[in-house]
Amino acid sequence: MNKKPYVFFITKNLKPKSLLSSADRKLLVDPLDDDNPITVQVLGICSALAITVQLRPAVVMAISVVGVMAASNVIISIFRNLIPSRIRIIVQLVVVATMVILVDQILRAFAYDVSKELSIFIGLIITNCIVMGRLEAFALGNGVWRSFLDGVGNALGYGLILIMVAFFRELFGSGNLMGVQVIPDSIYILGYENNGFMLFSPMALITVGIIIWVQRSRNRKLVEEY
Amino acid sequence: MKNKLRHTIDSLKNDLRYSSNLKKFVPAVNAFDTFLFVPNVVTKSGAHIRDAVDLKRTMITVIISLVPALLFGMWNTGFQHYSQLGESVSLFESFGFGFTRIFPMIAVSYAVGLAIEFGFAIYRGHEVNEGYLVTGLLIPMIMPVDIPLWMVGVSVAFAVIIAKEAFGGTGMNILNPALTARAFAFFAYPTYMSGDKVWVADASTIDAISGETILGTLAANNPSIQYSWWDMFVGVVPGSIAETSTLMALIGAFILIFAGVGSWRIMLGCLIGGAFTGLIFNLLGVNALMSFPFYLHLVVGGFAFGVVFMATDPVSAAQTTKGKWIYGVLVGIFCILIRVFNPAYPEGVMLAILLMNVFAPTIDHYVVSANIRKRKRRWQLAKANG
């Protein structure tokens, strides 16, 4: 009998050769901070304004964008050598639009309430500059697995900022989180008022600005030399 | 006493300067030092203008020019409150009532604002600037008297952090910080900043008091105004604490212009722009606000106060001579435009000044480049001729 211990996944030999190589890890982690689509590349600002009044739509939007970006990056990457470069934008649009419609249908089937609230904005994922930007800049020139990681990473970086902004806007704007009141009534009785300015879109820009400010003072390599 | 204080500060400074981890607190101590004593630092090299005016003296001039409006505002707060209740009280009683309401607001404004300024000075390692002394006094003066103190604090924090420190501190701000604080409070807590129940102290709790402003009444398309021209000019009307009195703003304007601190071009430009726009609307005269006489438009609301103390802010206003005229006239025009066309904002002077603050650098840019073009052409003409 062989008395080897049953360890399937974590063995000493496999540990350094984990699922992601360091270059792949960079694809996934960089967009979260150093190369964030919203705060560093300043893309996708429009939806950061539109759907961050409450946390729930922002979370659904973030998840939907992860799905759309991962899928369309993979598809474009598979066909990257077949797509004539003159019509590549049209092809990308068709792929993204298909994915967006798929996400919309899935939401309608399984989360109808959210879908009613969000279906306009889900449609607008097509126009989200991050999606097209990653297709153009990455998926057209890289392999399937790397494109998948890049899509997921960028969508997560986008979603992270979206959720942060929505968190502060819903908390201070309406005293709720995910639609549930979190600021207790006793504080309202003391004279606290919700900040109505938080519900206006300028405050989303200011919140994004503050996030950029904090990020840059923490991460000095983002600060340009001048 | 004085020498003792001097000695204490000097020894404190010495101790701090040679201590490695307390060094960053030197600016904070310096700020107190220069607040208490005339600084003994002189410029030693390079070309410089010999003048006694420094930032601190400029700011103190503005504060002196604000004092008449502030004292009047304190009296008016009490007077409006008691006269609406039907009580006639002495001048000192009215003033005392206003003082007990307004002094805490000023204290909160200075405490929050200066705490943030000192924090940034220590963190960034620069000296504390005096700019906040004026802003901190202006903010309570343009708020309704009944606003809760914590809202004043939050607005001050927003104005100092977002409108000022985010852009680099005193002298670098695009928007006037005091107006930013008011705009923030206006959009964040609209029920405390507009309507007919906030302008007279305790109006929301005592039924006998109703304090609709003149512009608020007009915006509701009600042309019957119970105040005379004289009331509006002197400022015995409901409104934000110190904005009601055109007379006191004029006294402040004279001090500012005489001391060379405020720009008379901007003030006159605003007046011309406002009167001109008001006149045009008088000719149209469709609703109560449009047919409100143009000369009365200039004495109601915060027009005079905003024009004298906010539009002339040397940092956020236009810098060139021609630019100041353009900037001033546009502030006047937009102020009346916003008043007349948007019933949700019966008072337009705040938004007009903020809007033109944004455009001031653009105006200056075009004035400067027009001047460059003119001189280039003159030079080419001279070259061609001779």
Q: What is the pLDDT of residues A104-126, one digit of tens each?
A: 898 889 888 878 877 777 887 88
Note whether residue A44 is domain-resident: no
Note whether residue A78 is domain-resident: yes
Note whether residue A158 is domain-resident: yes
Q: How confident is the model at residue A11 (pLDDT cuts 50, 70, 90)?
A: very low
Query: What does DSSP assign to residue B262?
Result: S
Q: What mean pLDDT, rounded, does chain B reach?
A: 85
Q: How confident is the model at residue A14 (pLDDT cuts 50, 70, 90)?
A: very low
Q: Domains for chain B: give ranges and CATH numbers.
A: 2-36 (no CATH), 58-371 (1.10.3430)
Note whether residue A8 is domain-resident: no
Q: What share of chain B is helix, strand, coil (3-state, %, to 5)?
A: 65, 0, 35
Contacting residues of A for B190, CB less than 8 Å apart: 196
Q: How confident is the model at residue B380 (pLDDT cuts 50, 70, 90)?
A: very high
- Asked whether the beta carbons of residue B187 and residue A196 sit closer than 8 angstroms, the reply is yes
Q: Nearest CA of chain B to the CA of A169: how many Å?
A: 12
- Asked whether the beta carbons of residue A196 and residue B188 sit closer than 8 angstroms, the reply is yes
- Looking at residue B236, its pLDDT comes to 86
* Structural domain containing residue A73: 60-214
Note whether residue A221 is domain-resident: no
Q: Nearest CA of chain A to the CA of B187: how many Å?
A: 5
Instruction: Quote the number of domains for chain A.
Output: 1
Q: Nearest CA of chain B to the CA of A53: how many Å?
A: 14
The H helix count followed by the E strand count for chain B is 17, 0
Position A134, amino acid:
R
Residue in B with minimal Cα distance to A201 = B187
Q: Which of B130, B178, B182, B181 is nearest to B313 (CA)?
A: B178
Query: Residues B297-316, buried b or exposed e (16+ Cβ, 10 A)?
Result: bbbbbbbbbbbbbbbbbebb
Residues of B with CB under 8 A from a CB of A: 148, 150-151, 154, 162, 166, 184, 187-192
Q: Nearest CA of chain A to the CA of B89: how many Å?
A: 31
Note whether residue A74 is domain-resident: yes
- Asked whether the beta carbons of residue A198 and residue B188 sit closer than 8 angstroms, the reply is yes
Distances in Å between the Cα of A163 and the Cα atoms of A132, B98, B231, B245, B256 are: 21, 45, 53, 47, 49
- Asked whether the beta carbons of residue A213 and residue B148 sit closer than 8 angstroms, the reply is no
- Asked whether the beta carbons of residue A193 and residue B189 sit closer than 8 angstroms, the reply is yes
Digit-coded pLDDT (tens) for B257-280: 998 888 899 999 999 999 999 999
- Looking at residue B324, its pLDDT comes to 93
Note whether residue A89 is domain-resident: yes
Closest Cβ opposite residue A196 in set B154, B162, B190:
B190
Digit-coded pLDDT (tens) for A51-87: 888 888 888 889 989 999 999 999 999 998 898 889 9
Identify the helix (H) or strand (E) that includes residue A176.
strand A176-177
Closest Cβ opposite residue A213 in set B150, B166, B187:
B166
Residue A2 has pLDDT above 60, yes or no: no
Note whether residue A19 is domain-resident: no
Strand partners, A176: A181
Q: How confident is the model at residue B368 (pLDDT cuts 50, 70, 90)?
A: very high
Position B23, amino acid:
K
Around Cβ A70, how many Cβ atoms within 10 Å? 21
